[in-house]
Amino acid sequence: MSKVVEISPTTRHEGHSKLVLKVNDEGIIERGDWISITPVRGLEKLCIGKTMHQAPKISSRVCGICPIAHTLAGIGAMEASIGCEIPQDAYLLRLILQCANKLHSIALHDILALPDMYIPGTETKINPFTAEEPVRTVAKRIQRLREIGQTIGEIAGGEPVHPSNPRVGGMYYNISPQAKQKLFDLAKEALPMAIAQMDFMNAVFKNFEKRETVTVGKTTVDMPKEFGYHNQGYMAVDSIFQSSSLDFDPKWDPNRWTDVTPWDWYMGECEVSLEDPDYPIGGTSKIGTKAWPQMQACTSIPLYDGQPVEVGPRARMVTFKNFDHKGAMGQNIAREMEYPDCLYTIIDALDALDCNGSVLADEIPQGDGSLGWNANEAPRGTDVHLAKVKDGRVQMYNLLVPTTWNFPTCSRALEGAPWQLAEVIVRAYDPCVSCATHMLVVDENKKIIAQKLVQ
């Protein structure tokens, strides 16, 4: 007889979500629903009628961890709609900003992921806040990597959180030679640290994957062989940056995308029948609690070729670098492997950057209502923004953000794992639930069939 257990809220990721899990007598997940319960903020709706300059600045506020992705995808979508090509040096500054943000985001996720893990060869779980070695050195390294990521973003992008420098048509300013040198020095400093950090994290993740058992709270569970595996596909448009409908050879196709409502995808009404007051910290939901994922989920379900897909570092690695490590730890390892790329790209872009180059297009068309899109490879995966701009105003704006793509995929990946480890699988997706929550649902003909607005 299967039982239902609910973890609400989930922790150590961005935003507000919960897990509703149907488990068998051994506590193994038969069907899992991971859903957003972050209130819908309705940004796509409220951007309609606003200027093309303002809308991306609003969508930046969707999330403070990856605002770069939303700013750049938003501006990129506006530029794609109006048909505006930006100068090379603006492109390079955006690329630097993109990589700087990814650097900080990976480092931040390290802090969130580490407490699930063990110091290799020991039974000691890692507490990133401990003053003891070897963890202290790692924690300090993470902080410095984040600091460097944010500082590079601050200089190239104007602000590390909600970048002010990007604008429709390019950037507001280029940087001085002195600032360029500072960025170069910082990237040089970070490179060996990032490589050391990657090596450390990957040793930790591989160690976890090889364990026989894992302890969560007071319970010890067996580590499944195929931890976090799923059979969904992958979607990625670039190994680092972006693709847009302005490209000669666009890497994403709006015709392959459809949405379904949570109603079509998630479980119906159910009642919690299993409870563990020792689940750290504060226990699971009480027996008798009603859960209704179909109704409670605050995201739409985007499909590519009719299927949920995985997006993120592994999807990029699989698509562009023949990566083949599956499961939750494969996802974590792929993310770590992006560390050096961020810094090599920043260094190359700085080499190419001309501090005296113009960073604003000579002409910025006002748009005729054509559809344009930009897909940004955000830290957590493909962030597609679609827009129609006419006379400088937004007529349509739609966001398909990484964690929205990952919600249904990750739900499938929960199957076969002990429910106590469900959150470890979720965290491997580095979820950003605020990002994921803002809902419009469209059918095959891109007609809006459902929307949920701020109550």
Ligand-binding site membership of 342 (annotated): no
Which range binds other proteins by CB under 8 A, 16-24, 158-166, 285-293, 315-323? 158-166
Ligand-binding site membership of 399 (annotated): yes
Contact 432, 403 (CB under 8 A): yes
Q: Is residue 178 within the footprint of other proteins (CB under 8 A)?
A: yes
Ligand-binding site membership of 270 (annotated): no
CA separation for the pair 174, 170 (Å, rounded): 10
CB nearer to other proteins: give 182 or 211.
Answer: 182
CA contacts within 13 A on the Cβ side of 393: 6
Q: Is residue 160 within the footprint of other proteins (CB under 8 A)?
A: yes
CB nearer to other proteins: give 177 or 283.
Answer: 177
From the list 12, 31, 53, 182, which residue makes contact with other proteins (rule: CB under 8 A)? 182
From the list 88, 151, 289, 451, which residue makes contact with other proteins (rule: CB under 8 A)? 151
Contact 145, 194 (CB under 8 A): yes
Q: Is residue 143 within the footprint of other proteins (CB under 8 A)?
A: no
Q: Is residue 183 within the footprint of other proteins (CB under 8 A)?
A: yes
From the list 24, 124, 127, 176, which residue makes contact with other proteins (rule: CB under 8 A)? 176
Q: Which residue has the tokens 């990002």?
A: 435
Q: Is residue 57 within the footprint of other proteins (CB under 8 A)?
A: no
CA separation for the pair 438, 47 (Å, rounded): 12
Tokens of 317: 């690695």
Smallest separation, CB 182 to other proteins (Å): 4
Q: Is residue 175 within the footprint of other proteins (CB under 8 A)?
A: yes
CA separation for the pair 421, 28 (Å, rounded): 10
Sheet with 3-7, edge to edge strand ranges: 3-7, 17-23, 29-36
From the list 159, 222, 238, 247, which residue makes contact with other proteins (rule: CB under 8 A)? 159
Ligand-binding site membership of 44 (annotated): yes
Q: Is residue 240 within the footprint of other proteins (CB under 8 A)?
A: no
Which range binds other proteins by CB under 8 A, 138-146, 179-187, 374-382, 399-407? 179-187
Q: Which residue has the tokens 């006379």?
A: 391
Q: Is residue 161 within the footprint of other proteins (CB under 8 A)?
A: yes
- Helix, strand, coil share (%) of the chain residues, nearest 5: 40, 20, 40
Smallest separation, CB 109 to other proteins (Å): 22
Q: Hey, is 170 helix, strand or coil?
A: strand
CA separation for the pair 187, 166 (Å, rounded): 21
Smallest separation, CB 262 to other proteins (Å): 37
Total of chain residues touching other proteins, rule CB under 8 A? 19
From the list 155, 333, 337, 360, which residue makes contact with other proteins (rule: CB under 8 A)? 155
Ligand-binding site membership of 63 (annotated): yes
Give bridge partners of residue 397 from the DSSP assignment: 387
Closest by CA position to 66, among listed 313, 333, 235: 313
Contact 96, 156 (CB under 8 A): yes
State residue 242 phi and psi, 5-degree precision: -160, 170
Which range binds other proteins by CB under 8 A, 151-159, 226-234, 258-266, 434-442? 151-159
Q: Is residue 322 within the footprint of other proteins (CB under 8 A)?
A: no
CA separation for the pair 188, 343 (Å, rounded): 8
- Alpha carbon 295 to its chain centroid, in Å, reads 24
Residues at the binding site for Mg(2+) are: 44, 399, 438
Interface with other proteins (CB under 8 A): 150-151, 154-155, 158-161, 165, 173-176, 178-183
